[in-house]
Amino acid sequence: MVRIETPAALEELRKNLADERRRYERVLILCGGTGCRAQGCNAVYEETRKVFEELGIQDRVALRYTGCHGFCEMGPIMIVKPQDIFYTRVKVGEVRDLITKTLLDGEIVREKLYVDPRSGDACLTMSEVPFYKKQVRLLLGMNESVDPKNIDDYIAIGGYSALSKALFRMEPEQIIEEVRRAGLRGRGGAGFPTAEKWAATRRARSRDGIKYVLCNADEGDPGAYMDRSLLEGNPQLVLEGMIIGAYAIGACEGYVYVRHEYPLAVENLYTAIEQAREMGFLGKDIMGSGFDFDVHVSIGGGAFVCGESTALMASIEGRLGEPRVKHIHTAERGLYDRPTNLNNVETWANVPVIINMGAEEYAKLGTERSKGTKIFSLVGKIRNTGLVEVPMGISLREIIFDIGGGMPNGKRFKAVQTGGPSGGCIPEQLLDTPVDFDSLYDVGSMMGSGGMIVMDEGTCMVDIARFFVDFLCGESCGKCVPCREGLKQMLYILDDITGGQGSPEQLEILQELAEVMRDTSLCGLGQTAANPVLSTLRYFGEEYREHILERKCRAGVCKALVSYSIDQDKCTGCMRCKKACPVGAISGEKKKPHHVIGEKCEKCGICLEVCEFQAVVRK
């Protein structure tokens, strides 16, 4: 690897790399994100390599093993360029056939294309797939072009040109001004204006001149994985953002705080840092500009609360990961008591894009007060599970129904949870809410880091509130009383309600407790911990009352409140339910109506699913 000493050297290298890549007739891209790996893409990759060697086409066709393409539901994904043929759910056994037909014979294997369930049409290319149509993939779109373990790929698509521009053609203040005009707001959840934070850290005086920039990759919201995919798929982009930020702020050292539960992200990050150092993008005298900056990796121990800024800094310092009061901002006294700027992975990744695009162009995307795109992980009861990157201001309905494809199995939509444990559940009547920082806050939820959990009619909202409270009981640091004790008492109350022991007074206690927690907790985790409860009380209060007054769970989730029986008139005695019941709780002979044995029944609902005569009744 050559060390880049001037902007011209970088540009020349980029040209050479791009030319080199043009020599290949075609490129076969395999998604190697964690989602696809879970579905066996490592084996697919190995098989592809073997077939390439056997056929002797490795000199003509480039093979690229990349980060996440977003459409995790359909993984492992294979793309063949330049035609952009988009194969889904590729299995090891099919690789040879796919390669010979597509690459040698020039045929398209129609069975492996994505079929739009609405129209029934097969989609030949990625851009035809409805999942991608409404997306604006500013950041994630780069994943397809980059092998995360190879910095050359990143440079070939223009990587580090933003850094070169920032270092040699912009003053630090100009960079901050550019980010301000772009309207970038923190993607970690709260949406604080990034440029304000940078400017405050730049202004702050450090006793020995040391300032830090940190990258928060401690993503921990249930169901959220966009930061992981960015770090796994394109770590250089995040690093470039950090270096530009450090230059703008005047920082000399940086840390990426990443969860140890993200082994692939950690591995790719280490490789990326090493390569960036070798090429002179990190370390002393970056690109010959005289600016020094280096990045370290700090691996989290698995505490959700360490995503909170002061807890994160305590954890990097090796202290107990608990938040402190922030009367003095971390921009003045943060890590090791020096001025510190902390941004989320996605925020950093946006920085090179802004510098390259220019603030005006970037600010055209999004709404008045929320600019750019946001990545969401669309999970839960949704047809197209995956990562979507959309312009701010798109409606929840568009994300869930146009991109996400709606509910599977013809079920009815009930709510969507955004913002993780700090967010809230948004009901059907608010589906046209635009997705931006302020609108989501106004409806009692928040943007959060980008988790979007879709729920259908089979989801009990009290049970969902209970799930998040239970999650936070284990993830609160336990320092302050309202959060620690409040969450515990909240869980007891929700246990009572879902267990059929609730009383109407408990609803008032829940409401009061939630408000006190919001007003008096020490950090953001505690202050927002009650949001899942508050928002479900607000929009689904009826369900709470049903649980308490009628001892009824309309979704049939709360086991204490449901019972199963068999309609004697409808039952044909086919024995299906009897065979399917895992605990032997159904009695009856062939061709005679069956019965549920109440005391044995575990209320799993399998009998209901297997019965073809609608004879099983859940009350």
Q: Which residues bind other proteins (CB under 8 A)?
A: 303, 305, 320-322, 324-325, 327-328, 472-482, 484-489, 492, 505, 509, 512-513, 516, 519-522
DSSP string of 474-499, one letter each residue: HHS-S-SHHHHHHHHHHHHHHHHHHT
Shortest Å distance, C-beta 420 to other proteins: 16
Residues 6+ apart with CB under 8 A from 583: 600, 601, 602, 604
Closer residue to other proteins, CB minimum distance, 516 or 604 = 516
Go through 80-103 and write b for each residue having 16 or more CB atoms within 10 A of its CB, e for each that does not.
bbeeebbbbbbebebbeebbeebb
Closer residue to other proteins, CB minimum distance, 235 or 321 = 321
Closer residue to other proteins, CB minimum distance, 433 or 521 = 521
SS (H, E, C) 102-165: HHHCCCCCHHHEEECCCCCCEECEHHHCHHHHCCCCCCHHHHHHCCCCCHHHHHHCCCCHHHHH
Shortest Å distance, C-beta 23 to other proteins: 55
- What is the three-class DSSP state of 338? coil
CA distances (Å), 121 to each of 25, 117, 427, in order? 29, 8, 32
Closer residue to other proteins, CB minimum distance, 38 or 320 = 320
Distance CA 529, CA 446 (A): 12
Residues 6+ apart with CB under 8 A from 220: 259, 304, 307, 420, 475
Closer residue to other proteins, CB minimum distance, 215 or 513 = 513
Distance CA 214, CA 296 (A): 9
Closer residue to other proteins, CB minimum distance, 356 or 520 = 520
Shortest Å distance, C-beta 320 to other proteins: 6
Nearest to 10 by CA among 144, 168, 141: 168
Closer residue to other proteins, CB minimum distance, 285 or 505 = 505
Shortest Å distance, C-beta 481 to other proteins: 5
Shortest Å distance, C-beta 497 to other proteins: 13
Residues 6+ apart with CB under 8 A from 105: none
Type of residue numbered 588: G
Closer residue to other proteins, CB minimum distance, 317 or 512 = 512
Shortest Å distance, C-beta 478 to other proteins: 3
Nearest to 616 by CA among 592, 593, 583: 593
Q: Reading across the β-sheet that carries 78-81, which strands appear in turn? A: 61-66, 26-31, 78-81, 85-87
Shortest Å distance, C-beta 545 to other proteins: 19
Shortest Å distance, C-beta 226 to other proteins: 25
Distance CA 99, CA 29 (A): 12
Closer residue to other proteins, CB minimum distance, 310 or 433 = 310
Contact yes or no for 598/563 (Cβ under 8 A): yes
Shortest Å distance, C-beta 185 to other proteins: 21
